[in-house]
Each structure stands twice: as C-alpha cells, then as structure tokens.
Amino acid sequence: MTQIDYSQKIPNNVDLSSDKRLQRALEKWQPNYIDWWKSVGPTDFNENEVYLRTAVSVDRDGWAHFGYVKMPEYRWGIFLTPREGEKKIGFGDHMGEDAWEQVPGEYRNWLRRLIVTQGDTEPASVEQQRLLGHTAPSLYDMRNLFQVNVEEGRHLWAMVYLLHSYFGRDGREEADELLERRSGNPDHPRILTTFNEPCEDWLSFFCFTMFTDRDGKYQLLSLAESGFDPLARTCQFMLTEEAHHMFVGQTGVARTIQRTCELLNEHDGKDVREYGAIPLELIQRYVNFWSSSSYDLFGAEVSSNSANFFRAGLKGRAYEEKQGDHRALDQVFDMEMWDDGKLTKEEVPLRNAMNEVLREQYLEDCLKGVEYWNRVCERAGIDFRFTLPHRRFHRQIGMYSQGFFDPAGNPIDEATYEARKADWLPSAEDRAYVQSLMKPERRPGHFASWIAPPAKGINGQPVELEYVKLARN
Ligand code: BYC
Ligand code: FE
Ligand code: FE
C-alpha cells in the first residue's frame, strides 16, 4: 500500500492509473517540466551521473534509495503520506468535523492561492541555484546541491498534482504558470521576495538552505495540519525530504566557520583572506541578510489572510497538537507594534497574529542552528559568537519594514542605519571577495580553500566518493 508504483511514467502512490484524465493531464505537463528543467534548471551536468537519493516508499524507515542517476532521468513523482483512519479537522471553526477529501467550495480560492504560493517557491529556488554547480567547493557539495535541486523539483510536482487533481481547469492553468514565472525577472517574477534574490555563491546557498528552506519547513508544518487532507498528506511527505536541505545549510555554514577558525589558530589571528578563507564577521553579514529576508516569508505580523486561513481550517500552526486552544478564538497575542515611529504593546486577536506565531516558532529553530555554529567557534577556542538578527532587522514586509532597526532590534534613525549598514549586511566588496573564492574543486575528497570537509559522507559512503562522475577526456 505504501509502495510507490515505478512502472508508471509518473511514479506515484496515489493510484494515478485509475484516473485516466488526470494521468493524461499530468503526462502532458511532464514534458514542459523537463523543458523547464533543461532551460532554467542546473546549467550543464545534466549528462553526468550523480549519487542521488530517490523516494521509493513513504514509510518512515527505508523510504529512500541511493544510486547514480542523470538528473533529467530522476524519477520525479507524486507521493503522499498514507491516510490514517478517520481524519478530523484539528483547528479553526471546523474543528472536530471530518477532514475534507475534496476542496470545500467556499474556500477554493484561498486554498488554491496557498498551494500556488507554496508551489512557486520550489522551481524558484532551482532557478536561483542554477549556476552553482560550476563553482562547487567539492564533489560532495555539488552532489548535495543537485539533491536539493531535484527534490525541489519534486515538491513542484507535489503541488502540481494537487492543482491538477482538485482544481480543474484553473488548476491546470496555475500549473502552467508555475513553469512560466522566473526568479528575478522584473516582468514576470516569482511570488515571494526571497525567491527573487540572486543566490550566486556558495555561502549564499548555505545560508539559503539554512534559513529559507527552514521557512519551507515551517510553512509545510502548518500546511501539514490542513483540514484539506490531500494537502496535509502531501506536505507531510515533503517534510521528510526537507530535513536534508537544512542539514546542507547548517553544516555548510559550520564547515565554512570551522575552516576560518582553523586558519585563525594556525596564523595567530591574521586576516584569513590571505589564506583564501572567509572572515567570521563577513559570514555574520551573510547570515543577517538571508535570515532577515527569510523572516519576510512569514508575511505581515497582523494579517487578516492568516486569520482567514486559520479560521477556515486551511493552515494551522506548526505542531498544532501541542498548542493550547485549537480554535484560538478568544485569545490575544501581545504584539510589539511599530506605530508612528514608536514601539508599543498591543493585544491582537490571536488568529490575526498567526503569521507572527509561526515566525516565532521558526526563530526558535534558527537559534538552535546558530548555537551549533557557536559550538564550532568554542571548540576551536575562538572568541567570536554568531547571533541571529532580531525579527525587526532589515525587513521588507510587515510593519517593521516602515522603520529602521539595528540587528538587536533597537529602533535607530535612517542616517545611523545607512552609516552602519556595511557592518551589518554584505557589501559589494564582501560579495566580490566571496565570489573570488568560488573556484571549483573537482578532485574526489578535496575541498576548496574556504571550507572544511564534512564529518562523514552521504549514506555511509566515504567523503572521497566520486559523488558526481564528471567526464574525463
Ligand atoms: N514577498 O497578509 P499578508 C519553501 C504579500 S518556502 C512578497 O501578510 P499572508 C521553499 C501577500 O501575498 C515556503 N509578497 O500575507 C524554501 C499579500 O498579497 P495580496 C513557501 C508577500 O497571505 C526553499 C500581501 O503581501 N510556502 O517551501 O498572510 C526552497 C499581504 O500579506 C510576502 C508558503 O509561503 C513576501 N515575503 O502571508 C524551496 C506557504 N509576504 O493578497 C522551497 C503558503 C506577504 O495583498 N503561503 N506578501 O496580493 C502563505 O501561507 C502566505 O501566502 C504567506 C503570506 C505566509 C507567504
Ligand atoms: Fe521544497
Ligand atoms: Fe527545501
């Protein structure tokens, strides 16, 4: 029952072959997807064998198979966590009613919008990362990049399945448009801010997978609570893949820090740039940029959209079962409002604060990652400590975007902000320096100057494995 049918053109565990219309529609979308992959997915390397994991079952244990595949031949498929007994809606006004197997008519537009927004981020990230294969600091890292890319491709499939299967003609149109918008294209951009930012070096990639993929984790957790059961089960399975993406980010930054610490110790605190590594302060500025950009992805602090999604039972909190009152009807949230140039406390109806609730859950998780980086410094005997910028720092979305704040969240005036900006966010010079280090290292088991090797390889394989087989001629 949980086995995935790989004899089909589109591997799936949703019995696709029993619905010929749906199957035909998806098989029609499939070549457009492959065209999209070839034209704006990873440049080159599509002919190379990559040591990738592919989902072969939706069981918790042993769900993945590892082996060499060429990326365009990756078996992108449709996998939902199996249904468990009688599912009930777990929050909002419909709490306790049977979960929906079909789209409830009154919520159709909201639901479609949530699915489209989620779906849009997946191909966007692949587009953002398309050039990075050329400058990979090792074959191990190159493989991780491609693993993330193929799985984001699969996440797009996951949302396209829902659109095709449950939203009829407009769902099919939305699915086509998911292949038409382009990250960073001013005329036809991706929907959310962070997914239009350039991601042109590996420090950005690691920060992106640390912070932006982690937004993905929290959005998926909240959608995995959905009363629309097909969405909930789709997101549950996506979360199993997501863990590796954040591992890539967290350990990628940690290995960069470790390399810098080693050089600081070897050369007695000299400027590590002389040895081709990245100064810790510069890493902090990248952390500040990508984390704050990712804070924006939770939307405005006070949001009637978020109240509607919650009320309707479409989008809950992460780990809803651990929350107190699942209706959240009479509770309030103590919000720090930025109002007319001042911070004031105000009680906001909890449902209207759901974006902020989720952002708080996310911030706690990010903090653990930062603590992990600080243990790297500590173990090396280096004084430096990383910090997570305050949720008010450097925002483009929500009420704090109206003011200026330092990384600790203190209000400051614009002149001070402008004067200190280069201490807090990557400057053009920082970016140029990081870019100058982006020289490919393609010998198995070797690593670029700026990054330490990982503690272990992928799937119990040695670090020296030829994770991507590059043609030698
Ligand atoms: N950029 O009421 P508000 C992932 C818009 S990442 C641009 O606060 P709401 C992944 C908003 O659309 C997870 N626009 O919004 C990671 C609205 O527009 P309209 C992706 C923004 O709806 C790495 C207006 O501002 N999943 O999976 O409460 C690699 C008012 O805003 C932004 C989801 O996002 C922004 N940052 O909250 C690969 C889940 N923020 O209506 C993949 C689905 C807000 O005025 N999405 N706006 O035209 C949602 O749940 C919600 O749409 C949001 C926004 C939380 C994003
Ligand atoms: Fe994803
Ligand atoms: Fe991801």
**Is the CB of 397 inside a 6 Å radius of any atom of ligand 1?**
yes
Query: How does residue 4 score in pLDDT terms, banded at 50, 70 and 90?
Result: confident
Q: What is the residue whose two structure tokens read 């589109």?
A: 10
Whole-number average pLDDT of the chain: 96
Kindly provide the b/e burial profile for residues 431-459, where b requires at least 16 CB atoms within 10 angstroms of the residue's own CB: bebbeebbeebeebeebbebbbbbeebbe
How many C-alpha atoms does 320 have within 13 Å on its Cβ side?
26
Of 192, 355, 366, best ligand 1 pocket probe by most atoms within 8 Å of the beta carbon: 192
Query: Contact, 233 vs 80, CB < 8 A?
Result: yes
The pLDDT assigned to 3 comes to 67
The ligand minimizing its distance to the Cα of 205 is 1
- Tokens read off for 72: 């365009």
Choice from 181, 206, 295, 297 to test ligand 1 binding pocket (greatest atom count within 8 A of CB): 297
The SS3 call for residue 462 is coil
Relative to beta strand 468-469, strand 49-55 is antiparallel
149 in ligand 1 pocket by Cβ < 6 Å? no
Ligand 1 pocket check for 241: Cβ under 6 Å: no
pLDDT band per the 50, 70, 90 thresholds, residue 1: very low
- Taking CA atoms only, the protein residue closest to ligand 1 atom 7 is 192
| Cα–Cα distance, 174 to 113 (Å, whole number) | 10
Indicate the top mutation candidate among 366, 397, 401 to test ligand 1's pocket, ranked by most ligand atoms within 8 A of CB. 397
Q: Dihedral sign, CA of 467, 469, 470, 473?
A: positive
Please tell me if the CB atom of residue 203 comes closer than 6 angstroms to any atom of ligand 1: no
Ligand 3 centroid distance, CA of 126 (Å): 10
Mutate to test the pocket of ligand 1, among 115, 116, 117 (most ligand atoms within 8 A of CB): 117
- Ligand closest to Cα of 118 equals 1
Q: Residue whose CA is closest, atom 47 of ligand 1?
A: 299
Contact call for residues 186 and 43 (beta carbons, < 8 A):
no
Mean predicted confidence (pLDDT) in 356-371: 98
Query: What's residue 473's pLDDT?
Result: 42
Alpha carbon dihedral 325, 329, 334, 339, in 10-degree steps, equals 150
Tokens encoding 125: 């990230």
The SS3 of residue 271 is: coil
Confidence tier at 248 by pLDDT (50, 70, 90): very high
Q: CA 153 → CA 36, 63, 146, 170, distances in Å? A: 10, 18, 10, 21
Report how far ligand 2's centroid is from the alpha carbon of 212 (Å): 10
Distance from C-alpha of 223 to C-alpha of 241, rounded to nearest angstrom: 16
Which residues, 6+ apart, have CB-to-CB distance to 311 below 8 Å?
Answer: 92, 93, 351
306 lines ligand 1 (CB under 6 A): yes
**How much is the average pLDDT of 377-404?**
97
Give nearest CA residue, ligand 1 atom 21: 192
Q: Tell me the residue length of the chain.
A: 473
3-state secondary structure (DSSP) of residue 50: strand
Residue 156 has pLDDT above 90, yes or no: yes
Query: Taking Cα atoms as reference points, which of 241, 214, 201 lies closest to residue 370?
Result: 214
Residue 2: pLDDT over 70: no
pLDDT digits (tens, 9 = 90+) for 118-133: 999 999 999 999 999 9
User: Would the pLDDT of 262 be above 60?
Assistant: yes
Structural element, H or E, at residue 343 = strand 342-349
List, for residues 32-52, the tens digit of each pLDDT value: 999 999 999 999 899 999 999
CB 115 less than 6 A from any atom of ligand 1: no
For the CA of 303, the nearest atom of ligand 1? 2
Tell me, in angstroms, the distance from the centre of ligand 1 to residue 9's CA.
33
The pocket of ion ligand 3, defined by CB under 5 A, consists of 213, 216, 245
- Stated as kind and residue range, the H or E segment containing 66 is strand 64-70
Any atom of ligand 1 within 6 Å of the Cβ of 89: no
pLDDT(471) > 90: no
Chain position carrying tokens 């609730």: 357
CB distance 219 to ligand 1 below 6 Å: yes
Give CA separation, 325 vs 127, 224, 442, in Å.
41, 18, 54
Rounded-to-integer distance, Cα 366 and Cα 368, Å: 5
Regarding the beta carbon of 399 and ligand 1, being less than 6 Å apart is answered: no
Q: Tens of pLDDT along 54-111? A: 988 888 777 889 999 999 999 999 999 988 889 999 999 999 999 999 999 999 999 9
Residue 256: CB within 6 Å of ligand 1?
no
Note the pLDDT of residue 63: 84
How buried is 47 (Cβ within 10 angstroms: 0-12 exposed, 13-18 middle, 19+ buried)?
Answer: exposed
Q: What b/e sequence results for 212-231 when a residue is b if at least 16 CB atoms lie within 10 Å of its CB, and e otherwise?
A: bbbbbbbbbbbbbbbbbbbb
118 lines ligand 1 (CB under 6 A): yes
Structure tokens at 33: 């997807």
Question: Is the CB of 122 inside a 6 Å radius of any atom of ligand 1?
Answer: yes
Q: Which atom of ligand 1 is nearest to the CA of 298?
A: 55
Ordered domains of the chain (ranges, CATH): 16-469 (1.10.620.20)
| DSSP notation for 217-255 | HHHHHHHTT-SBHHHHHHHHHHHHHHHHHHHHHHHHHHH
Q: What is the pLDDT of residue 460?
A: 96
Q: Is the CB of 251 under 6 A from ligand 1?
A: no
The predicted model gives 289-314 an average pLDDT of: 98
